[in-house]
Structure 1
Amino acid sequence: MRFSHGSTSTPTAIAVPPSLALPVIEAAFPRRLHEYWPKLQEKTRAWLLEKRLMPAGTVEEQADGLCYTDLMAGYYLGAPDEVLQAIADFSAWFFVWDDRHDRDIVHGRTAAWRRLRRHLHTALETPRTHLHHADPLVAGFADSVLRLYGFLPATWNARFARHFHAVIEAYDREFHNRAHGVVPGVEEYLALRRLTFAHWIWTDLLEPSAGRELPDRVRAHPAYRRAALLSQEFAAWYNDLCSLPKEIAGDEVHNLGISLITHEKMTLEEAIADLRRRIEECVAEFPLAEREVLRFADALADGTADGKELGDTVRSCVANMRNWFSSVYWFHHESGRYMVDSWDDRSTPPYVDNEAAR
Structure 2
Amino acid sequence: MTGAATEPGADLRLAPPPWHPLRGLDSAISPHVAELEAHIIGWADRYALLDDARARDKLARTRLGELVARTYPTILPARLEAVSGWFTWAFVIDDCFDRCAGQYDETAARTLRVLAGDREPGAAETRLEAQLADVWHRLTAGMGLTWRTRFTQHMAHFLAAFKYEAFNRRTRRVPDLLGYRQLRRASGGITPSLDLIEVASGLEVPALLHEFEQTRAMFDRAADVVVWVNDIVSLRKELAAGETTNGVLVLAAEREIGLPEAVDAAYTLVAEQVKQFEDAEAELEALLSRWRGLEPEAVVAARKFTDGMRAWMRGNLDWSFRSDRYQVTDGVLLSTDTSLLAPKPSGPER
- Shorter-normalised TM range: 0.7 to 0.9
In the alignment, is the contact (CA less than 8 A) between 1:184 and 1:259 conserved in 2? yes
Structure 1 residues 275-286: aligned runs within 5 Å = 275-286=266-277
The answer on 1:154 being equivalent to 2:145 is yes
In the alignment, is the contact (CA less than 8 A) between 1:25 and 1:325 conserved in 2? no
How far apart are 1:56 and its partner, in Å?
A: 6.4
Counterpart among 25, 31, 37 of residue 27 in structure 2: 31
How far apart are 1:246 and its partner, in Å?
A: 3.1
Q: Which moved more, 1:171-180 or 1:66-75?
A: 171-180
The answer on 1:243 being equivalent to 2:234 is yes
The answer on 1:224 being equivalent to 2:215 is yes
Specify the code of the residue in structure 1 equivalent to 2:308.
Answer: N
Q: Cα distance 1:133–1:48, how it changes in 2: closer, same or farther (>3 A)? A: farther
Counterpart among 305, 329, 335 of residue 317 in structure 1: 305
Counterpart among 254, 270, 273 of residue 264 in structure 2: 273
1:352 corresponds in structure 2 to: 334
Q: Cα distance 1:155–1:270, how it changes in 2: closer, same or farther (>3 A)? A: same
Instruction: Give the percent of matched residue pairs that are identical in Structure 1 and Structure 2.
Output: 23
2:72 corresponds in structure 1 to: 76
CA distance in 1, matches of 2:14, 2:326: 15
1:171 corresponds in structure 2 to: 162
Cα deviation code 1:23-50 (max 9, x no counterpart): 3467522322223332222122212110
How far apart are 1:355 and its partner, in Å?
A: 6.8
2:250 corresponds in structure 1 to: 259
Higher RCO (CA 8 Å, separation ≥ 6 residues): 2
The answer on 1:144 being equivalent to 2:126 is no
Cα-Cα RMSD = 2.8
Gaps of 5+ in 1: 1-16
In the alignment, is the contact (CA less than 8 A) between 2:37 and 2:65 conserved in 1? yes
Counterpart among 311, 318, 322 of residue 334 in structure 1: 322
2:7 corresponds in structure 1 to: none
Q: Cα distance 1:310–1:337, how it changes in 2: closer, same or farther (>3 A)? A: same
The answer on 1:20 being equivalent to 2:15 is yes
Q: Cα distance 1:63–1:229, how it changes in 2: closer, same or farther (>3 A)? A: same
2:296 corresponds in structure 1 to: 308
How far apart are 1:237 and its partner, in Å?
A: 0.4
Gaps of 5+ in 2: 1-11, 345-350
Q: Cα distance 1:277–1:146, how it changes in 2: closer, same or farther (>3 A)? A: same
Q: Look up the SS of the partner of 1:98 in the other structure.
A: helix
Q: Look up the SS of the partner of 2:200 in the other structure.
A: helix
CA distance in 2, matches of 1:22, 1:144: 38
How far apart are 1:129 and its partner, in Å?
A: 7.8
1:7 corresponds in structure 2 to: none
Specify the code of the residue in structure 2 equivalent to 1:110.
Answer: G
CA distance in 2, matches of 1:338, 1:199: 17
2:102 corresponds in structure 1 to: 110
CA distance in 2, matches of 1:179, 1:119: 24
Q: Cα distance 1:286–1:118, how it changes in 2: closer, same or farther (>3 A)? A: closer
1:88 corresponds in structure 2 to: 84
Q: Cα distance 1:90–1:287, how it changes in 2: closer, same or farther (>3 A)? A: same
